[in-house]
Chains A and B, each alone.
Chain A
Amino acid sequence: MSVDRRQRPQTEGGRVVPNYAFTAGRTRSVAGTDMPIEALVTATELGLAKAPGMPPEARAIVEASTVPQSLAEIGALLDVPVGVARVLVSDLAAEDHLAVHLPLVGADGRPRRELLERLLDGLRAR
């Protein structure tokens, strides 16, 4: 599986963010319980190209994921428990047919401050 952990420092608005900001929290394999229920899934170009030849469930996941879908939504789409959806998604991600977007949490295990600020802005604008 190609795992993109962004080990190099990131530049954000002129500020270099240390690695740990991106690797704190859940950084191990995305298989098993390490993919939270809210993890977002998007189809890759490769996945979309291969979709027509996939088994029906895999194809349904990839084609639905042209619009970002959470693991919970994949489960609801296929009418399977989240655990089953997680296995199917892990397999597709391992083949680079899907990208999985994990939550970004700080060292305290909670979403980082700037995310909370963006969330607040978004909610106030509703």
Chain B
Amino acid sequence: MVSAHGERAVGGAPPAEHRNLLPLKILVAGGFGVGKTTLVGALSEVPPLSTEQRMTSLSDGVDDTSIVPDKTTTTVAMDFGRVTIDDALVLYLFGTPGQSRFWFMWDELARGAVGAVVLVDLRRIDDCFAAIDYFENRGVPFVVALNEFPGTQGVDDDLVRDALAVPEGCPLVHVDARDDASCTRALITLVEHALAHSG
């Protein structure tokens, strides 16, 4: 395997031991209370941190060109965690809120991402449609991960795929967001999927 060099440092010259450092990111998307923070926390080597991202957007009515575009600024809090992969690669997981009106502001966040895990609570499936649509339209590799809350197990996968309109070829996995091994398997499935579609 060819080893990649991460020598794209800008600013000053980094110390030798940091010369090959490279960040990677995976997004964890889904509706309120679906388990995003839990999943990030299960995988992260540090307790999940929180950061604020200020996002400027056109408010509702963007089609109406007769009025001055009304800019609104929204501050979105994001959880994130960190997973050291090897001596050079550091993976960041960003838990991102799933309200559909935020999605189009997320291009910056999705840019360069390995892919996304769309977390789904089968008791509230409507909450994940915006995320699935977004990643599908933007060509961001993603997996749909059913977070198995009590009472949501045992539903037939084909029924779920149908109900969620999961695109063909997009993996569907089951997770317990509290369990590191379970979440790791979901990430492995995502990376395998991303690799299958990588040039």
Contact = CB atoms under 8 A, between A and B. Distances in A.
Interface of A: 1-6, 10, 12-13, 15, 17, 22, 25-26, 30, 33, 36-40, 42-47, 68, 70, 72-73, 75-76, 81-83, 92-124, 126
Contacts of B22: 40, 101, 103-104, 115
A76 B90 CA distance: 17
Contacts of A70: 23, 80, 82, 90, 92
Interface in B124-180: 141, 180
A26 to B, nearest CB: 8
B76 to A, nearest CB: 10
Nearest to A115: B4
Contacts of B111: 36, 109
A13 B2 contact: yes
B109 interface: yes
Contacts of B18: 42, 68, 99, 101
B195 A116 contact: yes
A93 B52 contact: no
Main secondary structure of the interface of A (DSSP, over half): mixed
Contacts of A39: 23
B195 A117 contact: yes
B53 interface: yes
Interface in B1-30: 1-15, 18, 21-25
A108 to B, nearest CB: 6
Nearest to A82: B53
Contacts of B53: 37, 81-83
B7 A113 contact: no
24 contacts: A26-B112, A37-B51, A38-B23, A38-B92, A38-B112, A39-B23, A40-B21, A40-B22, A44-B13, A45-B15, A70-B23, A70-B90, A76-B50, A81-B54, A93-B12, A97-B11, A97-B12, A100-B9, A100-B10, A101-B23, A113-B199, A120-B188, A122-B85, A126-B184
B133 to A, nearest CB: 19
Interface string B69-97: 00000010010101001100111101000
B4 A104 contact: yes
Nearest to B18: A42
Interface in B35-54: 49-54
B34 interface: no
Contact of A114 (B4, B15, B113): B4
A38 B89 CA distance: 12
Given A68-B90, A99-B12, 13 more contacts: A4-B7, A4-B13, A12-B2, A46-B12, A72-B80, A75-B52, A83-B54, A101-B8, A109-B111, A113-B198, A117-B1, A118-B4, A122-B86
Q: Would you list the 5 A-B pairs with minimal beta carbon distance, nearest first?
A: A93-B11, A96-B12, A122-B85, A44-B12, A99-B14
B63 interface: no
A12 B4 contact: yes
Nearest to B184: A126
